[in-house]
Structure 1
Amino acid sequence: MHTDSVTQDISATTPGAPPQESPGGAAPDPKRRLAFAVVLIAGFMDLVDTTVVNVTVPSIQRDLHADYAQIEWVIAAYVLSFAALLILSGRLGDIFGRKRVFLIGMAGFTVASLLCGVAVNPEMLIVSRFLQGAAAGLMVTQILAILHVVFPPAERGKAVAVFGAVTGSSAVFGLALGGLLVQWNLFGWQWRPIFLVNVPVGIAALIAGALVIRESRAPRRPKLDLLGMPLALAAVVLLVYPLTEGRRLGWPAWTYGMLAGALVLLAVFLAYERRRFAKVGSALVEFGVFRSRSFSVGMAVWFLFWIAVGGFFFVWTLFLQQGLGWTPMHAGLTAATFAIGVGIGAGNAPDKLVPKFGRNVLVAGGLVNAIGFIAFAVLVAHYGHSLASWQIIPVHIVSGIGFGLIVAPTLDLLLGQVPGEQAGNASGLLNTVQQLGMALGVALTGVVFFAQVGNAGGHATDEATPALKSALSGAGITSQDRLLDDFRTCVRQRADSVDPSKVPASCVESDPKTAAAFGRAVARADSVSYSSGFRTVLLLDAGILVIAAAGFLTLPKHSRPADATAVSTEPTEVTA
Structure 2
Amino acid sequence: MPPATDTALAAPPAASPDAPPAAAPVTPPADRRRWLALAVVMTASLMDLVDVTIVNIAMPSIQQDLGAGFGALQWITAGYALAFAVGLITGGRLGDIHGRKRLFLLGITGFTLASALCGLAWSPEVLVAARVLQGATAALMVPQVLSIIHVSFPAEERGKVFGLFGAMVGMGAVLGPLLGALLTEWDLFGLGWRPIFLVNLPIGVAGLLMGLKYVDESRAPKALKLDLVGMVIGAVGLLMLLYPLTHGREAGWPLWGFVSMGLSLPVLALFVVYERAKTRKDGSPLVELALFRVRSFAGGIGVQLCFGLATGIFFLVWTLYLQLGLGWSALKAGLSGVPFSLAVSVAAGISVQVLVPRFGRKVLQAGALVMAAGTLVYLAEADRYGLAVAPWQMALPLVLMGLGMGLIVAPLTDLVLSEVPREHSGSASGIVNTTQQLGFALGLGLSSVAFFTVVDAADPATTAMGPVFVDAFQHALWWVAAGLLLVFALVFALPRRGHTGR
TM-score, length of structure 2 as denominator length: 0.92
Distance 1:334 1:194, change over 3 A: same
Give structure 1 stretches of 5+ with no counterpart: 12-16, 456-491, 495-505, 508-521, 566-576
Between 1:309-318 and 1:241-250, the stretch displaced more is 241-250
Q: Which residue is equivalent to 1:77?
A: 79
Distance 1:156 1:97, change over 3 A: same
Cα deviation 1:346-369 (Å, max 9, x = unaligned): 111011111111111111111111
Q: Which residue is equivalent to 2:8?
A: 8
Between 1:237-246 and 1:366-375, the stretch displaced more is 237-246
Distance 1:296 1:302, change over 3 A: same
Post-superposition offset of 1:177: 2.3
Post-superposition offset of 1:240: 2.1
Post-superposition offset of 1:227: 1.1
Task: Give the one of 225, 228, 231 matched to 1:229.
Answer: 231
Asked if 1:553 corresponds to 2:492, the answer is yes
Q: Which residue is equivalent to 1:179?
A: 181
The 5 Å alignment of 1:150-299 reads 150-167=152-169, 170=172, 173-299=175-301
8 Å Cα contact 2:170-2:341 kept in structure 1: no
Distance 1:198 1:5, change over 3 A: closer
Post-superposition offset of 1:120: 3.4
Asked if 1:339 corresponds to 2:305, the answer is no
Post-superposition offset of 1:20: 7.7
Asked if 1:365 corresponds to 2:370, the answer is no
Between 1:26-35 and 1:268-277, the stretch displaced more is 26-35
Name the SS for the 2:240 alignment partner.
Answer: helix
Q: Which residue is equivalent to 1:464?
A: none
Equivalent-residue separation in structure 2 for 1:195 and 1:447 (angstroms) = 29
Asked if 1:529 corresponds to 2:495, the answer is no
Aligned-residue sequence identity (percent) comes to: 47
Distance 1:419 1:363, change over 3 A: same
Distance 1:278 1:339, change over 3 A: same
8 Å Cα contact 2:9-2:152 kept in structure 1: no
Task: Give the one of 302, 305, 329 matched to 2:307.
Answer: 305
Asked if 1:52 corresponds to 2:18, the answer is no
Distance 1:260 1:437, change over 3 A: same
Post-superposition offset of 1:60: 2.9
Give structure 2 stretches of 5+ with no counterpart: 18-22
Name the SS for the 2:369 alignment partner.
Answer: helix
Between 1:87-96 and 1:265-274, the stretch displaced more is 265-274
Cα deviation 1:517-567 (Å, max 9, x = unaligned): xxxxx5xx4343332332232233223212311321331121114xx32xx
8 Å Cα contact 1:161-1:411 kept in structure 2: no
Equivalent-residue separation in structure 1 for 2:397 and 2:356 (angstroms) = 24
Equivalent-residue separation in structure 1 for 2:304 and 2:120 (angstroms) = 37
The 5 Å alignment of 1:430-445 reads 430-445=432-447
Distance 1:403 1:264, change over 3 A: same
Equivalent-residue separation in structure 2 for 1:339 and 1:556 (angstroms) = 29
Post-superposition offset of 1:260: 2.2
Between 1:60-69 and 1:220-229, the stretch displaced more is 60-69
Cα deviation 1:185-244 (Å, max 9, x = unaligned): 011111110111000110001000111111111122311112111222222222222222
Post-superposition offset of 1:390: 0.6
Q: Rg: which structure is higher?
A: 1
Equivalent-residue separation in structure 1 for 2:245 and 2:53 (angstroms) = 17
Distance 1:117 1:18, change over 3 A: closer
8 Å Cα contact 1:165-1:407 kept in structure 2: no
Paired amino acid for 1:41: T
Post-superposition offset of 1:19: 7.2
Task: Give the one of 406, 413, 416 matched to 1:414.
Answer: 416
Paired amino acid for 2:10: I
8 Å Cα contact 1:161-1:407 kept in structure 2: no
Between 1:218-227 and 1:69-78, the stretch displaced more is 69-78
Post-superposition offset of 1:62: 4.2
Equivalent-residue separation in structure 2 for 1:9 and 1:150 (angstroms) = 7
The 5 Å alignment of 1:139-158 reads 139-158=141-160
Post-superposition offset of 1:249: 2.1
Equivalent-residue separation in structure 1 for 2:362 and 2:71 (angstroms) = 44
8 Å Cα contact 2:170-2:345 kept in structure 1: no
Name the SS for the 2:308 alignment partner.
Answer: helix
Cα deviation 1:279-300 (Å, max 9, x = unaligned): 1122000112111122112211
Paired amino acid for 2:101: K
Task: Give the one of 103, 106, 112 matched to 2:105.
Answer: 103
Equivalent-residue separation in structure 2 for 1:383 and 1:123 (angstroms) = 38
| Number of corresponding residues | 494
Asked if 1:493 corresponds to 2:432, the answer is no
The 5 Å alignment of 1:310-329 reads 310-329=312-331
Equivalent-residue separation in structure 1 for 2:91 and 2:474 (angstroms) = 38
Q: Which residue is equivalent to 1:541?
A: 480
Post-superposition offset of 1:69: 4.5
Post-superposition offset of 1:257: 2.2
Paired amino acid for 2:278: R
Q: CA RMSD in A?
A: 2.5
Cα deviation 1:35-94 (Å, max 9, x = unaligned): 111111111111322232233234334444555554444333322211111010010000
TM-score, length of structure 1 as denominator length: 0.80
Equivalent-residue separation in structure 1 for 2:16 and 2:297 (angstroms) = 24
Equivalent-residue separation in structure 2 for 1:546 and 1:69 (angstroms) = 29
Name the SS for the 2:52 alignment partner.
Answer: coil
Paired amino acid for 1:221: A
8 Å Cα contact 1:57-1:71 kept in structure 2: yes
8 Å Cα contact 1:141-1:427 kept in structure 2: yes
8 Å Cα contact 2:5-2:217 kept in structure 1: no
Q: Which residue is equivalent to 2:45?
A: 43
Greater percentage in helix: 2
Post-superposition offset of 1:314: 1.9
Paired amino acid for 2:42: L
